[in-house]
């Protein structure tokens, strides 16, 4: 493994790999990831509260806190940078307890989310903010899977190809955002 390039993982391997990932470690993620921001999380919770099925399986899933913009010619999405993760903190513990394995965003997380990451042997991954136009070059395909009325905030299924990330919080309590 090239230490500067990072660990290469498929999103389907994250459930098994998450407990061994450590805060600060670089990850090049490939495979299927779902987007969901504030509005989509509210609709997911309405489905859960009503006992209705979700538009994608949570078990082992990765959610990217992003709202891809319209695709320019030749690309599956436009700019696709992370949004501030703390806006989803009220939703994350329940989703993690229901099987979500990884979250991708930017910035620190609440103590409740960090506890849920540890409890569920999950991982919080950070994407570089402000580089959405470059990030889209690591996305091979995009399909809207739920809530199309939300536009760019609809839930989309993205295919990542070596999308560069950094482990922000690991399942052992490691956290890039906590001073020691």
On the question of pLDDT at 179 being above 70, the answer is no
For 53, residues 6+ apart whose C-beta sits below 8 A from its C-beta are: 47
Rounded-to-integer distance, Cα 70 and Cα 20, Å: 36
3-class state of residue 82 by DSSP: strand
What is the number of alpha carbons within 13 Å of residue 39 lying toward its C-beta?
A: 12
Average pLDDT of span 4-32: 94
Count CB atoms within 10 A of the CB of residue 28.
17
Question: To which residue do tokens 């809207």 refer?
Answer: 144
Contact in structure between 66 and 83 (CB atoms under 8 Å): yes
Average pLDDT of span 154-174: 97
Write the pLDDT tens digit of every residue in 23-65: 999 999 999 999 999 999 999 999 999 999 999 999 999 999 9
On the question of pLDDT at 125 being above 80, the answer is yes
On the question of pLDDT at 20 being above 70, the answer is yes
Rounded-to-integer distance, Cα 105 and Cα 125, Å: 7
Q: What does pTM read for this prediction? A: 0.94
Contact in structure between 30 and 7 (CB atoms under 8 Å): no
pLDDT of residue 2: 46
Q: Select from 30, 39, 28 the least CA-distant residue to 6.
A: 28
Q: What letter would DSSP give residue 92?
A: H
pLDDT of residue 180: 53
Give me 63's structure tokens: 């959610």
For 106, residues 6+ apart whose C-beta sits below 8 A from its C-beta are: 65, 82, 83, 84, 85, 126, 127, 128, 129
Average pLDDT for the chain: 93
On the question of pLDDT at 153 being above 60, the answer is yes
């Amino acid at each position: 493994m090239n230490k500067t390039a990072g660990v290469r993982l498929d999103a389907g391997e994250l459930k098994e790999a998450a407990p061994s990932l450590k805060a600060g470690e670089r990850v090049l993620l490939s495979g299927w990831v779902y987007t969901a921001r504030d509005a989509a999380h509210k609709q997911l919770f309405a489905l859960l509260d009503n006992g209705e099925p979700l538009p994608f399986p949570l078990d082992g899933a990765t959610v990217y806190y992003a709202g891809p913009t319209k695709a320019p010619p030749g690309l599956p999405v436009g700019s696709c940078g992370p949004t501030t993760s703390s806006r989803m903190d009220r939703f994350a513990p329940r989703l993690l307890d229901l099987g979500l394995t990884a979250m991708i965003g930017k910035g620190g997380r609440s103590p409740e989310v960090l506890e849920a990451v540890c409890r569920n042997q999950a991982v919080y991954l950070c994407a570089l903010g402000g580089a959405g136009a470059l990030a889209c070059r690591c996305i091979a395909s995009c399909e809207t899977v739920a809530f199309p009325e939300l536009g760019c905030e609809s839930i989309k299924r993205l295919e990542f190809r070596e999308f560069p990330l950094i482990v922000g919080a690991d399942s052992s309590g490691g956290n890039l955002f906590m001073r020691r």
